[in-house]
Amino acid sequence: MFPLFLFGYIAQFLGFFFSRFSFFILLFAFLLVSFFGYCSCHISPSQVIMPSNDFVRTVSRSFRVLVIGGSYGGLSAALALIDLSQGRLTRFNYNADAEAPTHRIPIQITVVDKRDGYYHLIGSPKALASEKFASEAWTRFQDIPGLRSPNLSFIQGSVSSVDFNAKEAQIVDAETKNSRTEPYDYLIAGSGLRRSFPTVPQSLRREEFLKEAREHMTDVKKAQDGIVIIGGGAVGVEMAAELKILYPEQKVTLVHSRKRLLSSEPLPDDFAERVDSILRDTGVEVILGHRVIDTTAVETKNGTRGWNLTLSDGRQLKTGHVLKAISQTVPTSTYLPKEALNEEGYIKVHRSLQFSGAIPNPEHHWAVGDLTEWEGIKRCGGAMHMGHYAALNIHQHMMAECTGGKPDYQTLQPFPAVMGLALGKTAVSYTPGEGTREGEDLMKTLFGKDMGHTICWNYMRLGEAC
């Protein structure tokens, strides 16, 4: 488990790139932590310190932490905070000079998520194409060994509002549909972006998700006259390659309105061209520079439903199934007052990840992951890295609260434009340092055998007792 992740790190050092978005960021983590070192907090002896039998003492204050979103960002923050509060270096620390905290802090972390479990989002193109992978991709929180801790509890529900002044959140419970008030000392917002199907499944429970994935696979298998995927962004190209590999008999067509695939990504042309040629070699038909302007349902001869698509050049495409992979992402921040958000709904943050809008109690409000207003391509690696840093900084603030000292925050830099794509059996990556690379070996390095699921799982140590 550990060596696998370490391999990711070492690979970074050797110039490999782990995943589309992720492990370049982890290299970043390593370099930043190495550079700044870990800031331990020095506590003067006072009545806030309770004696204990070992060298790590326990402060008498306790803190409640509410984490919104139990995915890469939220879980990383929660787990790193548990490590620190128990007087350990965080599981994400790779700085040999870092020193463990000198004091334990009693904390109670509540994670609230709409879903009943951790879903490996980046594996969606494969999870929605393969039953086996679907089953692995979603694990209920209660079934994850690494989340079983007396300091950590989960609520399945949706946060509907937050009161910065009172430090309270309203949560609509998924089971009872009743609203409850959850008080907190620290809030970590990590609820990501809303994405439509089939970019991500819409189910909120594991069993429903497996059904949703099965129905999707049936539609794909049954489709007469092939499948058309609309949208040649990162999700569309991965989905097209995955479906062609898993269902080689099926005709798979990818239609993209621009003359270049991945046209909205800040990446060079040769990266997009390499993706294009791999898709064509895999057997995907790629149509560029034409929009789908009409989609009409038709009855086929055997009574099943099909579709007639009209492209902007007047061309007609007959197909049995249409998948829209046009990523219209919307921040899930509707539960937050607008002072905390930018015009698009992303949370305004300082480089420390503390809320930077004009709100009450900003030092008790933190944000991680896709929901933050942050430069660079959104990635799960970035979200986990932010989770780690938010935890370090919140821990600093807690210690300062106990001692009257001043927190020493660590800061994050903008993410570089890097990407790695899983295209069936091969991967393509771009980093500013190495340019464009591709290959089956690269696929193993970046994604392993399961679209990075094991790598993320092991990195967060979800399989180990907490």
Ligand X SMILES: Cc1cc2nc3c(=O)[nH]c(=O)nc-3n(C[C@H](O)[C@H](O)[C@H](O)COP(=O)(O)OP(=O)(O)OC[C@H]3O[C@@H](n4cnc5c(N)ncnc54)[C@H](O)[C@@H]3O)c2cc1C
Q: Tell me which residues touch ligand X (CB under 6 A).
A: 19-22, 68-74, 112-115, 121-122, 124-125, 158-159, 190-193, 195, 199-200, 235, 332, 335, 369-371, 378-381, 383
> Of 379 and 461, which has the nearer Cβ to ligand X?
379
Alpha carbon 426 to chain centroid, angstroms: 22
Place of tokens 């790139």: 17
Closest contact distance (angstroms) between CB of 462 and ligand X is: 14
Closest contact distance (angstroms) between CB of 334 and ligand X is: 7
> Of 309 and 383, which has the nearer Cβ to ligand X?
383
Helix axes 2-13, 23-36, angle to 10 degrees: 80
> Of 116 and 401, which has the nearer Cβ to ligand X?
116
Helix axes 269-282, 234-246, angle to 10 degrees: 20
> Of 402 and 446, which has the nearer Cβ to ligand X?
446
> Of 379 and 395, which has the nearer Cβ to ligand X?
379
Query: Is 131:217 a contact under the CB 8 Å cutoff?
Result: yes
Q: What residue number has its CB nearest to ligand X?
A: 369
> Of 349 and 399, which has the nearer Cβ to ligand X?
349
Closest contact distance (angstroms) between CB of 262 and ligand X is: 13
Among candidate residues 80, 110, 22, 123, the one with its CA nearest the CA of residue 353: 80
Amino acid (1-letter code) at residue 453: H
**CA-based angle 166:167:168, to the nearest 5?**
90
Closest contact distance (angstroms) between CB of 97 and ligand X is: 28
Closest contact distance (angstroms) between CB of 116 and ligand X is: 10
Q: Other CB atoms closer than 10 Å to residue 239's CB: what's the count?
A: 25
Q: Rounded to the nearest 10 degrees, how much is the dihedral formed by the CA atoms of 42, 45, 51, 52?
A: 20
**CA-based angle 64:66:71, to the nearest 5?**
140
215: exposed, middle or buried (Cβ count in 10 Å: 0-12, 13-18, 19+) = exposed
Closest contact distance (angstroms) between CB of 299 and ligand X is: 32
